Chain A
Amino acid sequence: MATEPLAAGGSVADVGSLPDIGRHEPGGWRVPLAAAVVVALLPALVSPYTQDLVVSIAVYAIFALSLELLVGATGLVSLGHAAFLGIGAYLTVLVSGDEGAPLIVVLALAVAGAAAYALFVGALSLRTRGVYFIMVTLAFAQMAYFVVHDTKVGGGSDGIFLSVKPMLRVAGTTLVDLGARLQLYYAVLAALAATYALLAVILRSRFGHALAGIRVNEQRMRAAGFPTTAYKLAAFVIAGALAGLAGALLAVKDGAVNPELLAWQESGAVLLMLILGGIGSLRGAVIGAAAFTLLKELSQSEALLGPLAAHWQLSLGLAIIAFVALLPRGLIGLGARLRRARHG
């Protein structure tokens, strides 16, 4: 990809050959582990409101991590990733129905459904590249959006409520009930940790290195005998499946779904999280998700901004513009810059 000029006059190399900041994550697994321990202890210390905020951040972190596999690792910029989030969320509600359904079944179907749509979208859209790929993924997401928005499949523009949250029962005793706040908290954190670990393993595997090779120079990888399209498709399906997991958790957390979950604004928002955090590192995706969710929360806070809180998009938009102007490499880049400054 990096060698082919973008139709729009620039070069996709901009995406592919980002500076190596964050690709070799300093501190290895220690920082994420420390963060996980701190967050796991939080419920004892903070209010339910803050707990819900942490759950939001964790769900969006899973979503952002799934996109990071495409954008950061493989160099495929998708602007339609919300479709998989939405499909996971809608399947969760539809499978649960009025009586509720076992947790395992709900999660498995949500993930499988999102993965299936990703297989379909990926098989078609990977024929294109660069800006076309961005637009084609967007178009497929819009298709999914209009299916749930205009037809009766997903309750139309109002969406549907999730009446019974999924539970895990073994032999009559309830082991996990996602309707309970604390259990949902730990379940979502566990899912985030598992996603992070899975992606870290993938990126260190032969498969992950092949994806990195495709990002840097796809033609050379093909010449070396790698079936690059199959590799990219595999990455696309994994990313879609993980986004479906995030969608299922989001549906359980909110207790409802609506078509806006699949809207292109949501796809834009998750891309934004990656860019905010810094593309090219798993940690950046998590930091970006946290930063975006907090920024959104802050700009909606009446205590802080008074009457402007009703117009929170204005503050959020201006904050993003400031980020773009001042932090070209995201928050991770800021960290690296500070470290460099400290070491002289």
Chain B
Amino acid sequence: MDLSTFLVQCLNAVQYGLLLFLVASGLTLIFGIMGVINLAHGSFYMLGAYLAFALAPWFGDWFMTRLVVGVLLAAIFGYLLEWAFFSFLYERDHLQQVLMTYALILVFEELRSLLVGNDVHGVSAPDWLAGSFRLGELMSYPWYRVFSSLACIVVAVALYAVVNRTRLGMMIRAGATDRDMVRGLGVDIRLLYRIVFAGGVALAALAGMIAAPLSSVYPGMGSSVLIVCFVVVVIGGIGSITGALVASLLVGVVDTFGKVFFAEWSGVGVYLLMAVILVWRPEGLMKRGY
């Protein structure tokens, strides 16, 4: 492997890892604060990709506007979903919530099939990001992937700022540490949950919208992402956003280079990584650190 190929693979690894982070950060927030194991989180990623596909004819060249509108729609959707399906479940056993999210996957998959059909669709990148730049003599790297990484970094920084520097973030951190105490101090925990859930859905949908031009839009795209994101959350330490970032980059590297070196066995690599890390640190890399 020469240097430019290696560089391209590194860029791919970072780009994939950052995209995973967007999905996983929402998952880890919902996990950490609401205590809900959200199996349906992959569906929100899929929702984002299909939103990108469905909104494309409406917005044409206005790519950024399309992203913003899609994220807003997803957030509203998440807000309503929490109200309708989760708000009455917090007092119950955790397994009931797992069951609910499992049922929601089935419903979402079929609704997707009824509304859009089972075909694979492509979404094109906007014109101003269509080209690629040269790397070394033989390789080139598409600008859209660079945009994807940069967008994810911007969102990660924004997320960090919100969680660590705002009043809402303070309540989120407090809610993750001691739910009852926060409630006792007069914070409307139900509203907080609803906002966190909506935010998680919006993050996953944003990841799906960004990924749509890279991966095409296809049925079942949610469940493959979901399981990898669980791995990210567990490696990083449940509830830790910093941990999710470190873990998603790690998973990105292992997955990308696994495909290069061990094509046939590459699917196993990520899970092996997780097994090794958990044997070493049963509670993930970052135990409850933000």
Q: Which residues of A contact B (CB under 8 A)?
A: 6-10, 14-15, 18, 71, 77, 79, 124-125, 127-128, 131-132, 134-136, 138-140, 142-143, 145-147, 149-152, 264-265, 268, 271-272, 275, 279, 311, 313-314, 316-318, 320-321, 323-325, 328
Contact = CB atoms under 8 A, between A and B. Distances in A.
Contacts of B218: none
A149 B265 CA distance: 10
A146 B271 contact: yes
A264 B223 CA distance: 9
Contact of A264 (B88, B93, B227, B284): B227
A145 B275 CA distance: 15
A92 to B, nearest CB: 23
A193 B102 CA distance: 30
B103 A317 contact: yes
B32 A8 contact: yes
Contacts of B93: 14-15, 18, 328
A139 B268 CA distance: 9
B2 interface: no
Q: Provide the main secondary structure of the chain B interface.
A: helix
18 contacts: A7-B283, A9-B33, A9-B179, A14-B95, A15-B93, A124-B275, A131-B238, A140-B275, A143-B268, A152-B264, A265-B223, A275-B95, A318-B103, A320-B100, A320-B102, A320-B103, A321-B100, A321-B104
Q: Provide the main secondary structure of the chain A interface.
A: helix
B230 A272 contact: no
Contact of B234 (A9, A139, A146): A139
Interface stretch (B66-74, B108-116, B153-161): B108-116
B106 A132 contact: no
A128 B198 CA distance: 30
B35 A134 contact: no
A277 B93 CA distance: 15
B265 A151 contact: yes
A143 B104 contact: no
Interface string B78-103: 00000001001100111110111011
Contacts of A15: 93-95
B264 A150 contact: yes
B247 to A, nearest CB: 12
B233 interface: yes
B265 A150 contact: yes
A15 B98 CA distance: 12
Q: Range of interface residues on chain B? A: 35 or more
A320 B34 CA distance: 21
Contacts, number: 154
A132 B234 contact: yes
A296 B113 CA distance: 18
B9 interface: no
Contacts of B111: 314
A311 B35 contact: no
B52 interface: no
Task: Pick the most buried of B110, B272, B288: most chain A CB atoms within 10 A of its CB.
Answer: B110
A275 B39 CA distance: 16
Given A150-B267, A275-B95, A128 B103 contact: no
A328 B275 contact: no
Given A8-B238, A15-B94, A143 B110 contact: no
Contacts of A18: 93
A320 B106 contact: yes
A127 B104 contact: no
Contacts of A143: 268, 271-272, 275
A131 B31 contact: yes
Contacts of A316: 103, 106
Given A131-B37, A271-B98, A275-B99, A313 B267 contact: no
Nearest to A269: B102
B239 A7 contact: yes
B40 to A, nearest CB: 10
Nearest to A149: B267
B267 to A, nearest CB: 3
Contacts of B105: 317
B271 A7 contact: no
B110 A311 contact: yes
B266 interface: yes
Interface in B228-259: 230-231, 233-234, 238-239
Interface in B256-284: 264-268, 271-272, 274-275, 278-279, 282-284
A128 B279 CA distance: 9
Given A9-B176, A320-B106, 13 more contacts: A10-B35, A15-B94, A139-B234, A143-B272, A264-B227, A271-B98, A275-B99, A314-B107, A317-B104, A317-B107, A317-B110, A320-B100, A328-B92
Contacts of B175: 9
A152 B223 CA distance: 23
B275 A324 contact: no
A136 B275 contact: yes
Nearest to A121: B275
B279 A124 contact: yes
B278 A127 contact: yes
